[in-house]
Each structure stands twice: as structure tokens, then as C-alpha cells.
């Protein structure tokens, strides 16, 4: 159990019954504001009889209101109550926000990133009139849009000359209107850093009312949860935590490397979209309706290669680079890699990878390695990938 003594001083307390007192044995992972879902995918994991069970997996109605994009929106704080089947003591929220960041970075780069808020604030002052003249203006993606972020007075930089320090491992810090959290990677000088605007974090932290199950014990960005989603996969555990994985989302594709269960690589494939782009390519190239895409990708009646290969090749190129990087830097050699998040057409991905990289892509069900309770449908597991990852990371257990 962590006890925060002062702002910068936190101590760990080991309780006598062993294990980490922070381990959540009953936790619900929820993905918020998924671009592919109207409702929120939710997965409840319960530890029973020395194994993890998927007690419930489904979709809960989204909170009444949108994720605030400005400080001024935060007073409209909805109260979000979960259906009975998801009323676990803890909830791990994975949020999809255009203002969130998640990256593999060095300590200096993270500090610069934290200081960027100051620069952004200064540039905002110069461009203040422009911003204020457009009241409906929203923040863009990542840092470029932070420059236009209307800061709350309380979120102003404490002093323009102060240089922030790298946050302690796993300890969230607020800097220049953003919330940062850092974890070291298995590679020296590299860290995983996630950040979210302060007002969004506060809005999310107050979303679930106190005194009613569940309450938020974790707020993660969706990419962070995605990276943790394969930790309980039997193949991952069998490989002693050494793995390479491709995560395909609606709008982006990511590559993740693991060494002995620790992260060593996280990168977004540049210039490559996600499943939306893939499905568009299939639909336009093959002239199919949306309803037929899945069946075409899963069956062999029509060869989707002309439509699929232009999308997959750049990803495989990035995968090749990552394989070389992991082999040279960490001595990791793989003959198979995970392919997660691709509902249909995964076999084609594997074929292309075997042809070009002699690498087999396995696309397991995200619920593999978990005991499914009665009523849990594993067919929709891919849609719960982020929620599952949020729950796995949030439970902070030892596998």
C-alpha cells in the first residue's frame, strides 16, 4: 500500500498478509469514448480459486455527457453508475482522448514534454485573441493542440522559469495543466509516459460517485491499456514474457515489444491507419458493402489481397524494423508475433508476414488464459481489448 506523506514523498507499506495490498482481486475495466463503439466496453475480472475469471463482459451505457475539451466544460460533471453486474469495488478507466499522449521516450524528452505546457502557455498568450475569438475551437491532437488550450487560472504555470523533474515511477504529477505518469522500460533511459489534460483527469476521477460500486481506482489512456491486454495470454506467459505484438485499432496501428514481461518497445506505425482505413480499402477496392467485409476477409471465396496488401505491407515493414531492433538491442528473436485487434482477416495478415518475414502472426482470443464465467460471450472479445487491458493493468497483480 502506498502512503503519500508529502507532495513528493511516497512510501510503500507492506501489509502482513503478504502480496501487494494494492492488488485488486475484483476489478472492472471500462473503455470510455471508444471511436468504434457507441456504448462503453466493460470487462469484470475476478480472482477466484487461484485463477482469473471473466465474470462479465458487455457494454454499458456511456456517461451522460461528453469528455470535456475545455476547462469551462468541467463543471458539467455527470454521475455515472454501473449496472449491477459491473459493481466491483474497483474500476479501471481507459479513456480515448484526442488530447491524450502515450509514448516511449527518454527522460529528457519527457521533461521537455512537461515543459511544453509552459511554452504552449506563452504562445497562447500571444495567440490569445485568436483563441478567444473562436469560442467553439477544440483542442487538436497532441501537443499542437495544447497550444490552443484555454487554461484555467489554477492550471497556469507555477513559474515560467521552473524546470520540471522526471516524475517518480508510477506517481502521477500535474504539470502545466496536464497530468503525467511515467514507467521505466526494460531498456535503459527509456520510459513509457502517458499524459492527459488535468481537467479531463479530474472529470474522469469524479465520474463515478463515492460510496457506490465501482469507483475509479485507475485512469489510463487507451494505448496504455492496450499494451497490457496480452499479459494473461497463455502464449505470452509460455514465452516468459518475450513477445512482439501488433495492436490494430480503429485509427492507428501500434507495435509493442516485451522482454521478460517488461515493456521494451512501443511505437505507432507512421503513415498507417487502423481498421477503418483497412475496411475502407477493402470496401472500395472490392466494391463490397459494409456487411460483407467480415465474411470476405474470413472466407476464401474472394481473395482480398489486392485490397488488404497495400494496407498491411507498410505495417510489415515497420514490424521488420522492430524485429531487427529487438534482435540487435535486446537479443530477442521471434518466429511468431501477436496480432491483436483485427477481427476479420487475421489469417491473411499471417500469410503476408510469413511470406515476407517468415514470421507467423497469431491472433488469439483476448480472453484466452482467463476462465469465462457463465454467460460471457468470447466472440466479442476483440471489442473488449482495451477494457480488458485496463483491468489487467489496474489489478496490479503478479502473474
Partner 1 sequence: MKTASFHLNLLKTNEVLSSSPVRLRIMLPVGAILACVGLLVWWGILFTQTFIAKTQAHSIEEDLAAKNSAHAEAIQKRDLARELKLQLEQLEYYRSGVRSIGAPLAKFAEIVPLRVQLKEMSITPPRPQVLLPPGAKVPLFGPTENVETQKLVIAGLTTKETPVVSLMESLESGFETLVTGEHNVNSYKQDNTEMDGKRLLSFEIEYTMPERKFAK
Chain residues binding partner 1 by CB under 8 A are 2, 4, 10, 20, 22, 89-90, 102, 170, 172, 179, 181-183, 192-196, 201-202, 204-205, 208-221, 224, 227-228, 231, 237, 241, 260-263, 389, 392-399
219/293 with CB nearer partner 1: 219
204/361 with CB nearer partner 1: 204
Phi and psi at residue 110, to the nearest 5° = -65, -40
233: helix, strand or coil: coil
Compute CA distances 100 → 96, 110, 197, 341, 364, whole Å: 7, 14, 7, 20, 28
Look at the block and give the residue holding cell 457507441.
38
- CB–CB of 55/48 below 8 Å? no
DSSP 380: G
Residue 216 CB, nearest distance to partner 1 (Å)?
A: 6
Residue 61 CB, nearest distance to partner 1 (Å)?
A: 19
201/350 with CB nearer partner 1: 201
To 10 degrees, what angle do helices 346-357 and 305-330 make? 60
Task: Pull the grid cell for residue 301.
Answer: 471465396
What's the rounded Cα separation, in Å, for the pair 359 and 313? Answer: 13
227/376 with CB nearer partner 1: 227
Residue 161 CB, nearest distance to partner 1 (Å)?
A: 25
Strand partners, 95: 32, 221
- CB–CB of 92/218 below 8 Å? yes
Residue 254 CB, nearest distance to partner 1 (Å)?
A: 13
Pairing relation of β-strands 10-12 and 2-4? antiparallel
Residue 205 CB, nearest distance to partner 1 (Å)?
A: 4
DSSP 337: E
Residue 399 CB, nearest distance to partner 1 (Å)?
A: 5
94/323 with CB nearer partner 1: 94
DSSP state letters, 290-327: HHHHHHHHHSSSS--HHHHHHHHHHHHHHHHHHHHHHH
For 198: left if phi > 0, alpha if psi spans -120 to 50, otherwise beta; the answer is: alpha
196/340 with CB nearer partner 1: 196
359/391 with CB nearer partner 1: 391
376/390 with CB nearer partner 1: 390
Per residue, the 3-state secondary structure of 169-180, as one string, reads ECCCEEECCEEE
220/318 with CB nearer partner 1: 220
What residues have CB less than 8 Å from 117, skipping those under 6 apart? 146, 157, 175, 176, 177, 178
Residue 138 CB, nearest distance to partner 1 (Å)?
A: 21
Residue 126 CB, nearest distance to partner 1 (Å)?
A: 29
Residue 110 CB, nearest distance to partner 1 (Å)?
A: 12
Amino acid at each position: 500500500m502506498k502512503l503519500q506523506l508529502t507532495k513528493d514523498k511516497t512510501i510503500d507499506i507492506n501489509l502482513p498478509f503478504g502480496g501487494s495490498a494494492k492488488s485488486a482481486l475484483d476489478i472492472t475495466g471500462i473503455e470510455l469514448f471508444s471511436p468504434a463503439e457507441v456504448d462503453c466496453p466493460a470487462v469484470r475480472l475476478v480472482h477466484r480459486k487461484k485463477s482469473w475469471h471473466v465474470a462479465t463482459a458487455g457494454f454499458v451505457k456511456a456517461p451522460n455527457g461528453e469528455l470535456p475539451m475545455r476547462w469551462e466544460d468541467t463543471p458539467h460533471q455527470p454521475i455515472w453508475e454501473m449496472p449491477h453486474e459491473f459493481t466491483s469495488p474497483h474500476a479501471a478507466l481507459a479513456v480515448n482522448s484526442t488530447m491524450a499522449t502515450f509514448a516511449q521516450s527518454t527522460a529528457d524528452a519527457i521533461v521537455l514534454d512537461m515543459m511544453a505546457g509552459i511554452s504552449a502557455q506563452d504562445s497562447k498568450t500571444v495567440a490569445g485573441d485568436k483563441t478567444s475569438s473562436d469560442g467553439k475551437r477544440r483542442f487538436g491532437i497532441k501537443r499542437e493542440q495544447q497550444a490552443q488550450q484555454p487554461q484555467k487560472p489554477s492550471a497556469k504555470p507555477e513559474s515560467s522559469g521552473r524546470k520540471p523533474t522526471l516524475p517518480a515511477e508510477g506517481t502521477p504529477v500535474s504539470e502545466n495543466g496536464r497530468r503525467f505518469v511515467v514507467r521505466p522500460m526494460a531498456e535503459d533511459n527509456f520510459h513509457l509516459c502517458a499524459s492527459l489534460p488535468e481537467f479531463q483527469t479530474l472529470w474522469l476521477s469524479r465520474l463515478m460517485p463515492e460510496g457506490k460500486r465501482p469507483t475509479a481506482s485507475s485512469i489510463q489512456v487507451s494505448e496504455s491499456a492496450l499494451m497490457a491486454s496480452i499479459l494473461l495470454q497463455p502464449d505470452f506467459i509460455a514465452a516468459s514474457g518475450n513477445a512482439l505484438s501488433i495492436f490494430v485499432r480503429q485509427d492507428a496501428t501500434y507495435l509493442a515489444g516485451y522482454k521478460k514481461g517488461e515493456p521494451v518497445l512501443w511505437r505507432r506505425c507512421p503513415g498507417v491507419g487502423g481498421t477503418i482505413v483497412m475496411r475502407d480499402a477493402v470496401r472500395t477496392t472490392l466494391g463490397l458493402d459494409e456487411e460483407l467485409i467480415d465474411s470476405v476477409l474470413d472466407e476464401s471465396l474472394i481473395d482480398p489481397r489486392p485490397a488488404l496488401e497495400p494496407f498491411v505491407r507498410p505495417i510489415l515493414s515497420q514490424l521488420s524494423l522492430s524485429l531487427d531492433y529487438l534482435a540487435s538491442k535486446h537479443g530477442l528473436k521471434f518466429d511468431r508475433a501477436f496480432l491483436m485487434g483485427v477481427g476479420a482477416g487475421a489469417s491473411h495478415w499471417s500469410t503476408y508476414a510469413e511470406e515476407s518475414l517468415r514470421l507467423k502472426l497469431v491472433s488469439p482470443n483476448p480472453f484466452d488464459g482467463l476462465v469465462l464465467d457463465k454467460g460471457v460471450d468470447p466472440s466479442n472479445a476483440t471489442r473488449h481489448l482495451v477494457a480488458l487491458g485496463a483491468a489487467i493493468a489496474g489489478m496490479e497483480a503478479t502473474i
